[in-house]
Chains A and B, each alone.
Chain A
Amino acid sequence: MADRVIYAMYDDDEVLKDGAKMLVAKGVKVEEVFSPFPIHGIDPIIGIEETRLGIFAFLYGLIGLTLATLGMWFMMINDWPMNIGGKPSFSYLENMMSFIPITFEFTVLCAAHGMAITYLIANRTLPGMKATNPDPRTTDDKFVMELRTSQNTQFSADELETMVKSTGIVEFEQKDI
């Protein structure tokens, strides 16, 4: 079946939000919204799943914790036993206090970097990746809402167009894909 994608451009995020609310209330499925900044409260309106980035952050943190512990144990206790603070016990557990700051820092480092990289990959915005937003102006001061006819089969393309145009858009564009 031929799919047609509709791009509706707005110049205000609040207008877009109200428009999205109205369309969703009528049963229209909004595929995606492109915006130069996060629009507060848009996710539940267009039905975007809650992010799982937090879970990933926790897992990256655990990896960092394990790596730091293993690394310090190997370097400071196993491979070259160190006299830590005048306490030559050569035991990781007894010298745990002095290892905690680095464990903490490394946990944070791994969680933060892992989260940032995962975010960039999930959004396909790693440096060098081809941009997927429909219009470069959505990185400046415009907001675009994307609808697909294949997801809104209960409406004809013309009906969709009329509905979208009544929500205060500034530009309308559609193309077959």
Chain B
Amino acid sequence: MEFKVTSKAKTLTLSMIIIGAVFLAIGIATNAGDDHFLKRLLTNGLINSFFFFSLALGMLFFLALQYATETGWYAAVKKVIEAIMGYLPYGIGFMVLVFFALTITDGAHIYGWMDPDTVDPTSHHYDPIIYAKSSYLNKGFFWLRTVVYLGVYAWFWIGYKKRSIEEDRVGGTEIHFKNYRKGAVFLVFFAVFSSTSSWDWIMSIDVHWFSTLFGWYTFAGIWCSSMTVLVLLTMYLKKQGYLPKVNESHIHDIGKWVFATSFLWSYLWFSQYMLIWYANIGEEVIYYMMRIENYKLMYFGMFFVNFAFPMLLLMSRDAKRHFGTLTVIGIIILLGHWTDVYVMVSGGSMGAAASIGFIEIGMLVLMAGFFIRVILNNLTKGPLSPINHPFLDESIHHEI
């Protein structure tokens, strides 16, 4: 069955884009003279381009994981995964745009290490700590790394997409085993460079601070929010009468992923927090001091929401099969993970000067509308369930 974007969805996404754009324009117009204007604008650019890029990246990772483990049950939702993954080129585009804007403005006080003054020993703003890190954190090497990360992600995405269409056409197991090998290679690459890319893109905002756990923590957030998007989109399509091969057991399984990755994220959040709290070393606790002083409600509130909601409300088997419960929790924890990214980025760049206003809301709504529109459009480009996936039969009879 071919998917058609309903006129209601079209109106909704279009109005989200328009409202977002209007809010953003109001925000820009009223704040243009502020001291922190450029920093604020680019902070929001970084937050939203990273958040929505990470949803697509999370799905790319998840698909590679399914290929590498030769999983069967997911076959019926494979095209849904690929549709979300299809936002990747747009996500990469926005990321490159924001990094470009940050580079030409010398970091805009977000990436302090991009500012040439901080590494110039004769300057008033000279920072010996940044200077010591400058062989790694400099514009040239940063761009080299960014291009490699994004290029490799895009390359894998193109390959998976091409082979998925090819598999529908010719069938057989040759493509499956090729995907299997490519999945394993991707996981090795991703295991190392998802960490380093989050250090480069996010952790380097708090340039004096470091945490070896940071990469896994960011990755867990990415994984959890992308699984939430998957379950929301699958339920939406199911409600619309599509995906006849997807049954309650598939929804239950994706719900379990949301539940489990929420715990993974909470576990890593806590591990990072507890070790730094216990050791109580000035250069480490500064990260949390900043966030607790200026974002107390948001910071602990989002931890509570992202941990307690899925734990208490998704624990029972029935809840993971109930569309209403899953939808409400899904939307709440998606907002929770956006807040997580917001505090991660904004806490480092804006610090005490941060506030939620037209710019923040406008850009979020604008990007969310665009993201939804892109993934819905991606769904129209092909059949909604794979035709020749070797595990399709197993997936149709999935029962837990």
Contact residues of A with B, CB < 8 Å? 40-41, 54, 58, 85-87, 97-98, 100-101
1/0 contact string of B357-400 vs chain A (CB within 8 Å): 00000000000000000000000000000000000000000010
Inter-chain CA distance A98–B317, complex, in Å, is: 32
Q: Which of chain B's residues 265-286 have a Cβ closer than 8 Å to chain A?
A: 270, 273-274, 277-280
Smallest beta-carbon distance A14→chain B, Å: 13
Q: A87 to B280, Cβ gap below 8 A?
A: yes
Inter-chain CA distance A58–B273, complex, in Å, is: 27
Inter-chain CA distance A40–B317, complex, in Å, is: 17
Q: Which residues of A contact B191 (CB under 8 A)?
A: none
Inter-chain CA distance A82–B122, complex, in Å, is: 50
From A41, A100, A101, give the contact of B399 (CB < 8 A).
A41
Q: A98 to B316, Cβ gap below 8 A?
A: no
* A98 and B278 contact, Cβ closer than 8 Å, known pairs A54-B316, A54-B317, A58-B315: yes
Q: Which residues of A contact B399 (CB under 8 A)?
A: 40-41
Q: B280 to A97, Cβ gap below 8 A?
A: no
Inter-chain CA distance A8–B280, complex, in Å, is: 68
Q: Which residues of A contact B277 (CB under 8 A)?
A: 85, 97
Inter-chain CA distance A154–B233, complex, in Å, is: 50
Q: B274 to A100, Cβ gap below 8 A?
A: yes
Q: A97 to B278, Cβ gap below 8 A?
A: yes
From A41, A87, A97, give the contact of B273 (CB < 8 A).
A97
From A41, A85, A86, A100, give the contact of B270 (CB < 8 A).
A100
Query: Knowing that A58-B315, A85-B277, A100-B270 are A-B contacts, what are 12 other residue pairs whose CB atoms are under 8 Å apart, sorted by A's residue number?
Result: A40-B399, A54-B316, A54-B317, A85-B280, A86-B280, A87-B280, A97-B273, A97-B274, A97-B277, A97-B278, A98-B274, A98-B278
Q: Which residues of A contact B270 (CB under 8 A)?
A: 100
- Tell me which of A40, A86, A97 has the highest count of chain B C-beta atoms within 10 A of its own C-beta: A97
Inter-chain CA distance A41–B398, complex, in Å, is: 11
Smallest beta-carbon distance B246→chain A, Å: 19
Inter-chain CA distance A26–B270, complex, in Å, is: 56
Q: List 20 A-B contacts (CB under 8 A).
A: A40-B399, A41-B399, A54-B316, A54-B317, A58-B315, A85-B277, A85-B278, A85-B279, A85-B280, A86-B280, A87-B280, A97-B273, A97-B274, A97-B277, A97-B278, A98-B274, A98-B278, A100-B270, A100-B274, A101-B274
Smallest beta-carbon distance A7→chain B, Å: 28
Smallest beta-carbon distance B310→chain A, Å: 15
Inter-chain CA distance A100–B274, complex, in Å, is: 9
Inter-chain CA distance A86–B317, complex, in Å, is: 44
Q: Closest B-chain residue to A61, C-beta based? A: B315
Smallest beta-carbon distance B212→chain A, Å: 19
Inter-chain CA distance A97–B279, complex, in Å, is: 12
Q: Which residues of A contact B316 (CB under 8 A)?
A: 54
Q: Which of chain B's residues 105-136 have a Cβ closer than 8 Å to chain A?
A: none
1/0 contact string of B117-157 vs chain A (CB within 8 Å): 00000000000000000000000000000000000000000
Inter-chain CA distance A100–B278, complex, in Å, is: 12
Inter-chain CA distance A97–B315, complex, in Å, is: 24
Smallest beta-carbon distance A135→chain B, Å: 29
Q: Which residues of B contact A98 (CB under 8 A)?
A: 274, 278
Q: Which residues of B contact A101 (CB under 8 A)?
A: 274
